[in-house]
Structure 1
Amino acid sequence: MAKGQITEFNGILLYTKPYREHDLLVKFLTREFGKKMFLVRGAKRPRFKMRAAILPFTYGLYGGDIKADGLSYINDGKHVDHFNEIADDITKNAYATYTMSLIDLAFHDSDPIVDWYDKLLIGLKLINEGFDAEIITNIFEVQLLQAFGVAPNWVDCVVCHRRDLPFDYSEAYGGLLCRNHWNKDPYRMHLDARTIYYLRLFSVVDLSKLTHISVNDRTKKSLRQVLDQIYQRSVGVIPKSKRFIDQLGKFKI
């Protein structure tokens, strides 16, 4: 693609931040060009025409000047929509923001990641439609581990490759250990069978085919603990947006 080409692109708004007195920097995950940062001039002025096209949780078809390097520019929002339910619900908002932050951290700008654009669009639609935002986020957390270079083995025992015995997760071995090899890692996570089941399921589930999912509170708490531990110890990346989710958890009864 030639530098500075005017073109259309499909985009999901990841975040905005102030830039100079009247402008905004707006980051999109685009389907065609990966993650791109756009300079939107005059975006903070009261009568800015494209205000609706760059609101949080906006997605759709845009027109702009896409630069190979540096800042790109948006000319107009041709056909845009909003995840209104996410924007209006503090919990959905928090999980959606965290999920987008993880994707932003997992990939370099301009990397071609069409599959993750499609996954994010589907995931946000599911949250917007009322699916459990925490579980949708867990699915993204599990599936993004490979992008962060961790890639646990959720398929079988990392030692003997058996699949017919109870499993536990071992950080040291980077995956599952069957019961016959639990003694190899005294610091294994001691996870219950349901937590292991969902971790394995989340690693392969196709969001586009998800019609229903229900996880009890005890298992959700266990999933949160194990994924937090993997991200803290193995990934080493914790988006700032995660702090708000942690605060929300303290208020749950």
Structure 2
Amino acid sequence: MLYRVEGLVIRSTDYGEGNKIITLLTPTYGKQGIVVRGAKKLKSRYGSLAQLFTYGDFSYYKTGTLGTLNSGEIIESFRELREGLEGPAYAAYASELTDRAINDDEAAAHLFHQLKACQSALAGGKDPQIVIRAYEMKVVNASGYAPMLDECVNCGRQDGPFRFSAAAGGALCLSCKHKDPTALELEETVWKLLRVFSALDLRRLGNIAVRDSSKRQLQLALRRWMDVHLNLNLKSRNFLDQWEKYGDLLGERMKRPEPIPETEAGEGKV
């Protein structure tokens, strides 16, 4: 049967001497694996369609597990995401996270649009740490492991302050924090951002200025959450952690946020 879809290339691997197998995230059929014959050859007609991050129109035949590309056209190459180090690092992480965290039957049109918006935001120069944290929350929600952020997961109390517990499932009030001694004490700004990211459509993401201490706490909270609930070993994440130079933070450091330089304390900073 012949299929025609719009899709984003989230994985591209060599197959045989001159071919590639690409994994597409599509709004209509979820994730689809397609063989692109001759993609590795210099004069390949469709080699550019097999590049990671490409957004295109794909026509393919499929009778079994894998399809075979019949024809295609690039809609947007996202060339900026293949230049330098920062763009490829964040975009590769978003693609690998999508591929590994989401089953074929869980991929839907909403996630397709969120990943496309994530790539557009990264290519457009928006703060990559904020963009990727927001997208992580989209993937967490799509995989069915969204944290409870508005009330205590143990007793239902709705007035904070709370601690963030990946093991318990989200917010723990002070009366219940003993349920998880490792629960994180987050800045109120971080709680607000987590709630915003959970509800946000990334296509409406504006420019958000966030203090470095808040970025670190956001990273730690979502890393802890994904480690507990998704348990993925991603090559791109290991590189990204080295790039961001954060990784898991010591508890003492979490309690003593870095002072905000005067140049970062201007209007619009959160």
* Percent identity of equivalent pairs: 30
Unaligned runs of 5+ in 1: none
Are the counterparts in 2 of residues 106 and 144 from structure 1 also a CA contact under 8 Å?
Answer: yes
Instruction: Give 1:111 deviation, angstroms.
Output: 4.8
Letter in 2 for 1:127: L
Deviation at 1:24, TM superposition (A): 1.0
Q: Confirm whether residue 140 of structure 1 aligns to residue 135 of structure 2.
A: yes
Is 1:59 aligned with 2:51? Answer: no
Deviation at 1:156, TM superposition (A): 1.8
User: CA offset at residue 206 of structure 1?
Assistant: 1.6
Q: Is the 8 A contact 2:11 2:99 kept in 1?
A: no
- The question of 1:205 aligning with 2:196 is answered no
Q: Does residue 1:71 correspond to 2:92, yes or no? A: no
C-alpha change, 1:13 and 1:172, in structure 2 (3 Å) is closer
What is the CA–CA distance in structure 1 between the aligned matches of 2:89 and 2:157, rounded to whole Å?
39
Paired residue type of 2:59: G
> Is 2:24 aligned against 1:34?
no
TM-score (norm 2): 0.83
- Partner of residue 236, structure 1: 231
**Normalized per residue, which structure has more strand?**
1
Distance 1:217 1:45, change over 3 A: same
Give the AA of the match of 1:15.
R
Which is worse superposed, 232-241 or 30-39?
Answer: 232-241
Root-mean-square deviation (CA), in Å? 2.0
Aligned counterparts of 1:226 and 1:112: Cα–Cα separation in 2: 24
* Alpha-carbon displacement from aligned partner over 1:189-223 (angstroms, at most 9, x marks no partner): 12222222222221111212222212111111111
More displaced, 76-85 or 20-29?
76-85
Counting only pairs closer than 5 Å after superposition, residues 142-181 of structure 1 correspond to structure 2 as 142-181=137-176
Shift in Å, 1:32: 1.7
CA 1:111–1:191: 2 relative to 1, 3 Å: closer
Report whether the alignment pairs 1:46 with 2:72: no
SS of equivalent residue, structure 1 residue 63: strand
- The one-letter amino acid paired with 1:237 is L
1:88 equivalent to 2:89? Answer no
TM-score by length of 1: 0.88
* Deviation per residue, 1:91-112 (Å, 9 max, x gap): 1211111111111112223555
Shift in alpha-carbon separation, 1:18–1:79, aligned structure 2, 3 A: closer
8 Å CA contact 1:96–1:133 kept in 2: the answer is: no
How far 1:114 moved relative to its partner?
A: 1.3
- The answer to whether the 8 A contact 1:167-1:193 is kept is no
1:247 to 242, 246, 249: 242
